[in-house]
Amino acid sequence: MTDVERLIILNIVEDIGSIRTQSLLKHFGSLEKVFKADETEIGQIKEIGQIRAAKIPQEIKKINLNKELDLIKKHSVKVITFLDKDYPENLKNIYDPPVVLYVKGSILPEDKLAVAIVGSRLASFYGLQTAEKLGFELASHGITVVSGLARGIDSSSHKGALKAKKRTIAVLGSGLAHIYPEEHKDLAERISESGAVISEFPMNTIPDKWNFPRRNRIISGLSLGVVCVEAAEKSGALITCDCALEQGREVFAVPGKVDSMTSKGTNKLIKQGAKLAQGVEDILEELNLSDSVSRQDGDSRSRIEGSALDKEESLVYTLLSSDPKYIDDICRESGIGLNRIAKILLNLEIKKFVKQLPGKNFVKI
């Protein structure tokens, strides 16, 4: 049996975890000796105690390792342990790093430059658009975007990074044989092709609600900072922000409307001292990565110049923002007639510069 297999087994045994696994390894000097130890020897370790020690040897024998290895192979998953050289450096430095990481895709050295984007599952259109934009811009600067694959802000963040054709990492609160939510299976597959989908949970673990707070410490642990886009006062995203603070990471919050339920959490974070994030520049500057901002500005200019927008299209585009604007207001501000404006907006939609919302409202993408 290899050390990787031994760590897979210890990770499956309930109530051991990272800290106790490290204590076992430190006490016995090798994983081989850990697996040969009896309950009396294990009970001598302060962090474990006699009651828990009596269960560990029995639980180890019950684990069906072959079943787990078969699932790992079936789903093309790689296992990285906290003893491996390619274990993520940022994550290794937290208090309780995962014993093993199940990885679908790849974790690369450049993922050390990572920023997490988290927020509400029931996000507003403003929140979804902001998350996708931040994901796109951070990724365009070579920053790996980390999130949790959940509905709402998480998935929008991943999609933004994928639009930039850059790296993103999704951290699950379930095993990799149970992608959750189920409708994000295709998204998870796309992420694994240009980054990684990872979990510390054994392959067949279902998405139990108690798993997600544990998942959140990995999201923040992989990252230099956490950006909260939208969150209610008791949102799970705030748990990730708490983890980030405990781990010595920066916390950013995107301001929202004062009367919005999904902005109460983010606005409160700002009152408590989180860094205000009005755009990607605020994040990059705080993390001492602002030297790459000029590249993004140049890319944006090139996108507009290279898209063959005519004079009227450029004018209308500059009048729009992330806030919905009614078509009559666009006519008034541009001085262009309604029929002509409708054609211009349609062209901008086709070129993916503008999105139409219900009620003939338009926003800049």
For the chain, the structural domain boundaries read 1-63, 103-293, 307-364
Mean pLDDT of 291-317: 61
| Contacts of residue 112, Cβ cutoff 8 Å, sequence gap at least 6 | 88, 89, 90
146's enclosing H/E stretch is strand 144-147
Q: What's the topology of domain 103-293?
A: Rossmann fold (3.40.50)
| Contacts of residue 49, Cβ cutoff 8 Å, sequence gap at least 6 | 43
pLDDT score recorded for residue 293: 43
Structure tokens at 241: 């922000």
Lookup result for tokens 């200019």 = 301
pLDDT score recorded for residue 305: 46
- Mean pLDDT is lowest, of 45-54, 190-199, 216-225, 334-343, for 45-54
Mean pLDDT of 200-224: 95
Vertex 205: Cα angle to 65 and 82 (nearest 5): 65
User: Distances in Å between the alpha carbon of 21 and those of 16, 100, 205, 309, 310?
Assistant: 6, 11, 20, 60, 63
Sign of the dihedral through C-alpha 126, 132, 136, 137? positive
pLDDT score recorded for residue 213: 92
pLDDT score recorded for residue 296: 44
- Mean pLDDT is lowest, of 45-54, 288-297, 311-320, 331-340, for 288-297
User: How many percent of the chain have pLDDT more than 70?
Assistant: 95
* Residue 36, phi-psi category: left (phi > 0), alpha (psi -120 to 50), beta (remainder): alpha
- In tens, the pLDDT along 40-91 reads 999 889 888 888 888 888 889 999 999 999 999 999 999 999 999 999 999 9
Selected residue with higher pLDDT from 17 and 79? 79
Residue 245 has pLDDT above 50, yes or no: yes
pLDDT score recorded for residue 318: 85
The closest of 106, 100, 107 to 83, measured between CA atoms, is 100
Mean pLDDT of the chain: 90
Vertex 156: Cα angle to 154 and 160 (nearest 5): 120
Rounded distance between C-alpha atoms, residue 180 and residue 172, angstroms = 7
Q: Say yes or no: domain 307-364 is CATH 1.10.630.10.
A: no
Sign of the dihedral through C-alpha 208, 209, 213, 215? positive
Residue 199 has pLDDT above 90, yes or no: yes
- In tens, the pLDDT along 248-295 reads 999 999 988 887 888 889 999 998 999 999 889 999 999 988 654 444
Residue 303 has pLDDT above 60, yes or no: no
Residue 197 has pLDDT above 60, yes or no: yes
**CATH class of the domain comprising 1-63:** mainly alpha
DSSP 7-22: HHHHHHSTT-HHHHHH
Mean pLDDT of 223-251: 93
312: number of Cβ within 10 Å: 15
Rounded distance between C-alpha atoms, residue 107 and residue 80, angstroms = 10
Residue 327 has pLDDT above 60, yes or no: yes
Strands, sheet with 168-171, edge to edge from the N-terminal-most edge strand: 78-81, 100-105, 195-199, 168-171, 144-147, 114-118, 225-228, 250-253, 275-276
Rounded distance between C-alpha atoms, residue 178 and residue 160, angstroms = 24
